[in-house]
Structure formats: C-alpha cells, structure tokens
Amino acid sequence: MQTLPPIEIQPRDLAPYRKGNVGVDYVHRFHSGRSGPHVLVNALTHGNELCGMVAATHLLDAGVRPRVGTLTVSFANVAAYASFDPARPFDSRQLVHNLNRVWSSEWLDGDEDSPELARARQMRAVVAAADHILDIHSTSNAVPPFWVYPAFERNAVAARAIGRPSVHLVMPQGLGTGTPLIQHGLHGGAGHHGVGLVAECGQHFRRSTGETAIAVTLDFLAYFGLVARALDAPPAQRRFRLLRTCMVTTPEFRFVRPLVGFEVFGKDELIATDGAEEIRAPCERCTVLMPARQPTVGREGVYLTEPVDG
C-alpha cells in the first residue's frame, strides 16, 4: 500500500461562493465596462485538485477585477470536492465520470446522467462564452508543473509568452480518451481565436502547488491585459508531443518499475504490461507523463510522449 502524501492544502467550505451572478452556482463574472477579451479561470474540474480552489478563492477574496474585458471565475466539480476525505484523498477526483472528458456534444446531448454530466450541462454556456480559458489542475505525483494544450499555434504562443510553467505537453490529436473542457465547442477547432490551456501546477496537496496556481493564474490574466502584472522573461522551455494515451484495460496493469513522471525510455523498451498486452516505448527518448498512481480499469494509465526540439 502506498504511503499517502502530506496534505498541506486544506479544503475550504465553498458555501460562501455558491451564489454566483450568471444563474449558475459557483460561477462569478465581472465586467470591466471596457472592451477586451472574456477570460475564464476554472477550478476543480477534478474534486481533489485543490490548487484550483486556492487560485479561484484568491481571485474572489482579493477582489481581483478586470481592467479590460470580462473575467469569469468558476468552481466546476464541487460535488466531488465536497466528498474529500483526507484519509482517502485521491478518491474525490470524480464521483462517476471524468469531468475533463465529457465536453463533446455526444456526452452533453446524450442520455447518460451523473453528477459530472449534470454539472457540465449547467456550465456549458459558461465555457462557450469565454474567449480564453485557463483550467487549473494538479498531479498525483510530485513532478515539475507543465502546460497541456491542443497543438494550435495560438495556444503555443500564449504558453511560451507566459513562460511559467516552462514545460509543455502538446496534443496533436487531443487526448484520445474524450473531450477536455479546453476543447469544448469552438475551442476545439483550428479556426477559433481563443486560447485554451490546462496548467498542471504540481502535486495535488502541496502548499507550493497552490502558490504556483495563483502565480500562473495572475500571469494568464496579465497576458490578456486583464490585470496589471509584469511577466518575467520566459525561461528555457521544454516541449513534449503526446504520442499515445494508454488506458488501463485489466486489473493486472503494472509498470516495470515505480514511475512518477518524466522518466525516459529507449525505443521498444518495456514500460508496462496490461494483462497480456505489453506497452513499449514507440520512439527513442520516450518520456512518460502522468503514470497512474493506482491504475484503475477504464482510466488513463500513462501518457507516452516524445521531446520536441526547438
């Protein structure tokens, strides 16, 4: 049995933030009265990724208001968040469905129901109304923060300019396991103007992860002119291209050794087995990202990527 990490971020009661001003609970919108972009900062797509809560409550508690355009701040999977148990802190990621895979018409207009689907349907218009989206996430293991985004140039330009995090996971074909929030509707197309970025800010429960989430959020808002904040000169950046998302298909899924993320494998080197299937590196310098802490049938087991030079 794996040792639980220290929980340095304590969940807060979100009841004071329930009543928003757009007719959807836990969604708050602020207009500057001046022309400019509409930016959505979304937290708690997964209920145990507490750094988003830290960043969103910081914006609301500090009274951050846009100098231009419109700012919307939302808490997404509040139902899963409310189930958080420090004795089982990884269990509140979701109640039924992964809220970051259901943002397609197939799911949103389908017949299935769950707390996550109900919430996505409530928030559908909120997400669609935004020009630019920052979706705040964190990771099970303690690895460097990184961006995740579809391989549209508009996303790459913004992520590079913001600079923090300095690591990028670029998705040429999406995740391959569903539609993330940042690819909902027009945001999933090459012709749209809007930027959609996920910021993976560090390990779920570390205090530093919450601090990173606040900093990245303010940098994102500054990039679009909504707040006054100087952006640091971008540091050297590393980019990885997603090659394959490996799903867990059997209870026998096993990595060849304990992995936390960013381990490198040579071409054809064995990474994991899933029952009779062998998962091998498809290229030289294959870098694994987000290996499952406890593999679960029907969920992602690991992302296989390759480094992108230049």
Reported as a single tens digit per residue, the pLDDT across 23-72 is 999 999 999 999 999 999 999 999 999 999 999 999 999 999 999 999 99
Q: Which CATH architecture has domain 15-223?
A: 3-Layer(aba) Sandwich (3.40)
Task: Kindly tell me if the per-residue pLDDT of 132 is higher than 80.
Answer: yes
The answer to whether 15-223 and 240-308 have equal CATH topology is no
**Is the pLDDT score of 1 beyond 80?**
no
The H-or-E segment that residue 115 falls in is: helix 115-129
pLDDT band at 3 (very low <50, low <70, confident <90, very high): confident
pLDDT the model gives residue 50: 98
Domain ranges of the chain: 15-223, 240-308
User: SS3 of 39, please?
Assistant: strand
Stretch (H or E) spanning 215: helix 207-223
Given a cut of 90, whether residue 267 has pLDDT beyond it is: yes
pTM (predicted TM-score): 0.96
Residue (of 167, 157, 185) closest to 241 by Cα position:
167
Compute the average pLDDT of residues 147-154: 97
How far is Cα 75 from Cα 70, in angstroms, rounded to an integer? Answer: 17
C-beta of residue 17 within 8 angstroms of C-beta of residue 26 = yes
> Does residue 200 have a pLDDT over 80?
yes
Q: What is the CATH number of domain 240-308?
A: 2.40.50.630
Tell me the average pLDDT of the chain: 96
Are the beta carbons of 97 and 114 closer than 8 angstroms? Answer: yes
Closest among 225, 153, 161, 222 to 191, alpha carbons compared = 153
Residue 184 predicted with pLDDT over 80: yes
